[in-house]
Amino acid sequence: MGSLNLRKYFLPKNLKKDIPSSIVVFFVALPLCLGIALASGAPLFSGLLTGIIGGIVAGSLSGSQLSVAGPAAGLTVIVLNAIVGLGSFETFLLALVLAGIIQVILGIIKAGTIGNYFPSAVIEGMLAAIGIILIMKQLPHAVGYDADFEGDERFVQANQSNTFSMLFSSLSRVSYGVILISAVSLVIMIYWPKVKKLAIVPAPLLVVLSGVILSQLFIGHEFALKDKQLVNIPAVSNIQELFALFRSPNFAAIGNREVWITAITIAVVASLETLLSLEACDKIDPIKRISPTNRELVAQGIGNVISGLLGGLPMTAVIVRSSANVNAGARTKMSSIIHGCLLLLSFLFIPVLINYIPLSCLAAILLVTGYKLARISLFKHIWHKGLNQFVPFVVTIVAVILTDLLIGVGIGMLVGIFYILRTNLRNPYFYHVKGSKDNKEIRIRLAEEVSFLNKAAIQVTLTSMPAGSDVIIDGTNSRYIDPDVLEIIQNFKHNAYTKGIIVQLVNIMDKYDVPRLKELMYNPN
């Protein structure tokens, strides 16, 4: 049975999607790995190493088919402060090893189920905010102002400037050669995939090739690019130089209280970011597969242990790379694994060629990715769901942009919980499941009010439906069903055929308005 499961990763129909997608993720991940290492105050090699381990090790162990692991921008401040506070990078590596062990324990005790309780509006808001941040952070690179190349997603920078001031500064320091390369790259990214006969060649690959050619043509001209406007990774010429880049943890500091505090902080924050990113990645998965959260924590924990032992940075499932992976058409986790191999091979064999790539090419790829995450149609879609979805969505976007990922999501969660509690004051919950696994027909009768708090239970119930059964979901008695629950039901109906399940929805509407208190008082039945 295991060999049959493994065979799908090597099917030609999957590989022809996964290999081009891995190339896309590689070109997105490369500058992010370098930038996050720089922002963390760590060696640039540690960022690349984390991307390699995240792709190959975490990708192999993960149960998610589309998420991509790597160094996380949301952890840069924690890492920077930890390296300074602990006194050395080697002592920090010990904290990272311990954090990985804690994550493995969290996965074993099944703490990952907390990921089922993040409201959809908050997850959508996080995705849109990351898209907007990507656009704002990459615009300076697209016009040739690259002082902000640090992989930091925070609004306020270390030099007390902010994202908006950086944008205005970039407009006064433009490079016309960079702008031309960015414009060509954007045209290719937008229009190349629309030509089906040409789309077999990944647009990002063509963007990089055209950018390299143009930058070489500009040499000696006023449009010539500066060194800081090109990718820059360390080059090694022999095995000794390669091994010299690795760093080992300072195990002598195992009794240091601050090391344990740092380890617990990294474990908790990295786990939360992973669960958030995993939930977001599942949302944009075209097949709507559900990733096992506990297995993901174990995979990330093992990856962080190895990263700490070799001299890397903390890793998480990263939504920027994951969304690029999904948008590129990936089918299985082979895309993530291959992207890790590409990072390794590029570092070992072609560092000089990689350093010819203009940052503006990579900026164009990320600009398009950012727009897809924060597209206008998404705002319209959430608006039509009602204010109880739209308000947490917008609050999350604003909070993430002005603070950081975790604080912003926390603020969005508080607003989302307010709306959930307000709804549940009017909506007691109960539902019945009729039938058993031995019966072919299973009837799920929803109660009068079904809230978001029932999301996880209903998700588990539907996921556990036996293959080949007939499932009837009856909403005859339901006056209100939460949008998140409706989404789960609709996803189950659309994808149940993969398990041979026939689904029938009875009296379930596309949208339910929250009953007003007066209506409940005067019409209790």
Give the C-alpha separation, 106 to 299, whole Å.
Answer: 11
79 and 228 housed in the same domain? yes
69 and 16 housed in the same domain? yes
| Strand duo 449-450 + 480-481: pairing | parallel
Mean pLDDT taken over the chain: 83
Residue 434: pLDDT over 70? no
346 within domain boundaries: yes
219 and 319 housed in the same domain? yes
Mean pLDDT of 460-488: 87
397 within domain boundaries: yes
157 within domain boundaries: no
The tally of domains found in the chain comes to 3
User: Which of 312, 331, 357 is the C-terminal boundary of a domain?
Assistant: 357
278 and 411 housed in the same domain? no
In sequence order, the β-bridge partners of residue 504 are: 472
User: Which of 401, 424, 447 is the C-terminal boundary of a domain?
Assistant: 424
Residue 452: pLDDT over 80? no
Lowest mean pLDDT among 288-292, 298-302, 338-342: 288-292
Is the pTM value of this prediction over 0.85? Answer: no
Residue 520: pLDDT over 50? no
21 and 74 housed in the same domain? yes
End-to-end CA distance of the chain: 52
158 within domain boundaries: no
144 within domain boundaries: no
258 and 352 housed in the same domain? yes
230 and 108 housed in the same domain? yes
Q: Please give the residue that has the higher pLDDT: either 159 or 419.
A: 419
417 and 438 housed in the same domain? no
Residue type, position 342, single letter: L
User: So what's the pLDDT on residue 433?
Assistant: 60
Question: What's the domain range around 288?
Answer: 2-127+194-357
276 and 314 housed in the same domain? yes
202 and 333 housed in the same domain? yes
Residue 471's H or E segment, with its range, is strand 470-474
340 and 379 housed in the same domain? no
User: So what's the pLDDT on residue 257?
Assistant: 93
Residue 449's H or E segment, with its range, is strand 449-450
Report the CATH number that the domain containing residue 490 is assigned in CATH: 3.30.750.24
- Dump pLDDT digits (tens) for 65-79: 999 999 987 687 788
Annotate 229-292 with DSSP letters as a single string.
Answer: GB-------SHHHHHHT-----GGGTT-HHHHHHHHHHHHHHHHHHHHHHHHHHHH-TT-PPP-
User: So what's the pLDDT on residue 521?
Assistant: 44
Residue 523: pLDDT over 70? no
475 within domain boundaries: yes
Local confidence band at 505 (pLDDT 50, 70, 90 cut-offs): very high
518 within domain boundaries: yes
What's the 3-state SS for 102-152? Answer: HHHHHHHCCHHHHHHHCCHHHHHHHHHHHHHHHHHHHHHHHHCCCCCCCCC
329 and 440 housed in the same domain? no
Backbone dihedral angles phi then psi of residue 491, each to the nearest 5 degrees? -65, -40
Residue 137: pLDDT over 80? no
Give the C-alpha separation, 338 to 34, whole Å.
Answer: 19
Mean pLDDT of 411-417: 90
- Dump pLDDT digits (tens) for 20-62: 999 889 988 887 888 788 778 888 889 999 999 999 999 999 9
Q: Among 321, 312, 314, 310, which Cα is nearest to 281's?
A: 321
Give the C-alpha separation, 135 to 138, whole Å.
Answer: 5
CB count in 10 Å sphere of residue 506: 13
Q: Among 167, 128, 138, which Cα is nearest to 283's?
A: 128
180 within domain boundaries: no
Residue 99: pLDDT over 90? yes
